Amino acid sequence: MSVIPPPASMRIASIDILRALTMVLMIFVNDLWSLNNIPGWLGHVERGVDGMGLADTIFPAFLFIVGMSLPFAIRARKKQGATSRQLVQHALVRTIALLVMGVFLVNGESINAAAMPIPRWLWNPLCCIAFILIWNSYPKTLSRSLVYGLRGLGIATLLVLAVIYRGGTPETLQYFAPKWWGILGLIGWSYLASALVVILSGDRLAGLLIGWLFFAALSLCSAANLIPTGGIFALIPHAILGGTLPGLTMGGVLTAVTFRHYQKQQRQVKMTLIFILAAAVLVVLAGVTRPYWGIAKLGETPAWLFLCSAITLLAFVVIYWIADGYGKQNWFNWIRPAGTDTLLCYLIPYLLYALFRLVNFRFPPELLTGAAGLAKSLALAMCCVFITHGLNKAGIRLKL
């Protein structure tokens, strides 16, 4: 999920469209839990099973697209005069924001309702409203004191939620703490690792390729249990040390830099052939490594890294030729808000589910099964896109 798109002046239509399609699919597959009698290949494969469903390809696509946005965003900041130190500081601030959001949403998964002063269903929407208050891109015409007040209200809301949080069981109550980093947190760690590689390499292709090879090697070593768990290694988040997640993001970085090079030379056909060849190599690598560790999202196996990178790369090639090559960008206008304000779109389902609970709304049973259920989940995803568009027009737009 790229939640950190580049500035508008640096946007590439096909990257925005790929990001938007991925966001729509994310909301769609996240709603499949509410359905019955749907094809098993749409969902996640269980832990320990060698296989991959549609849902298992969405998160890696987000990571890949985060990487595709990185070189453009960093180059834009360099043109504005940012130093390497300032670029690193900016990456750290963005990472911390994603980690905070990820941890708060993760804690909402294990609430002990009986020990909380607020209903369980209210946790996520309160968190999301606080996120919006803190990270909204407020109009410059708005009073600074009002902006600081709104952001302060968001911070205070999160602090109160952290203090009153109780999870676990009545026998073993748990307090607010990072249990795992959540989807947003994992994106944050992957973004940080890849951003540091881009900054330190000076955005040069050779350095970026070494970075991708390093994380791919880490993924292999992690799968083979060759990475020590003690000492200094214990200080490195598994999201980075495991190699797989930043490997996906670095794949997007390499794609973006290669894309930028051949676009400048107007050699789109050669670029396409290189991407297809790279995808073929990745598929072969997936086939070679799968017999050893399987292909699994929950296991973050090397085969999952290679195959999902290939899938996302080929999807980008197809979308590029439709949108940029043949100028059919308008075909995707209906989902564009999901690609330009992806973080806000990601948060909308949490607010929608809470609204349904507040008004005691339930979908008819006929819309929770089979093809009708799938249509309902897709309609829900599109509803989130339209709400995002409306909020953007009202001046609500998240920016980390």
Nearest to 363 by CA among 353, 193, 206: 353
The pTM assigned to this predicted structure is 0.92
The 3 state secondary structure assigned to 31-88 is CHHHCECCCHHHCCCCCCCCCCCHHHHHHHHHHHHHHHHHHHHHHHHHHCCCCHHHHH
The conformational region for residue 395 under phi > 0 = left, psi -120 to 50 = alpha, else beta, is: left
**Which long-range contacts link 350-354 to residues 24+ away (Cβ below 8 Å)?**
350/105, 350/124, 350/125, 350/127, 350/128, 351/125, 351/128, 351/129, 352/380, 352/383, 352/384, 352/387, 353/121, 353/124, 354/121, 354/122, 354/124, 354/125
Please check whether residue 139 is in contact with residue 109, taking contact to mean a CB–CB distance below 8 angstroms: no
Please check whether residue 248 is in contact with residue 1, taking contact to mean a CB–CB distance below 8 angstroms: no
Helices (H), the chain: 13-30, 58-79, 84-107, 123-135, 144-164, 182-201, 205-223, 238-241, 244-264, 268-293, 302-320, 337-340, 342-358, 370-393
Task: Determine the Cα–Cα distance for residues 292 and 304; give it in Å rounded to an integer.
Answer: 12
Instruction: Report CA-CA distances (Å) from 249 to 64, 159, 172, 214, 229.
Output: 4, 32, 38, 13, 24
DSSP state of 398: B
Task: Determine the Cα–Cα distance for residues 129 and 256; give it in Å rounded to an integer.
Answer: 33
Give the count of beta carbons closer than 10 Å to the beta carbon of residue 188: 29
Per-residue model confidence (pLDDT) at position 169: 84
| Domain map (residue ranges) of the chain | 8-393
Task: Determine the Cα–Cα distance for residues 108 and 387; give it in Å rounded to an integer.
Answer: 23
Query: For every one of its 400 residues, what pLDDT tens digit does the chain have, with 9 covering 90 and above?
Result: 444 444 444 457 899 999 999 999 999 999 999 999 999 999 999 988 899 999 999 999 999 999 999 999 999 999 999 999 999 999 999 999 999 999 999 999 999 999 999 999 999 999 999 999 999 999 989 999 999 999 999 999 999 999 999 998 888 889 999 888 999 999 999 999 999 999 999 889 999 999 999 999 999 999 999 998 878 888 899 999 999 999 999 999 999 999 999 988 888 999 999 999 999 999 999 999 999 999 999 999 999 999 999 999 999 999 999 998 888 889 999 999 999 999 999 999 999 999 999 999 999 999 999 999 999 999 999 999 999 999 999 999 998 8
The residue written with tokens 């005069």 in the block is: 81
Task: Determine the Cα–Cα distance for residues 144 and 97; give it in Å rounded to an integer.
Answer: 21
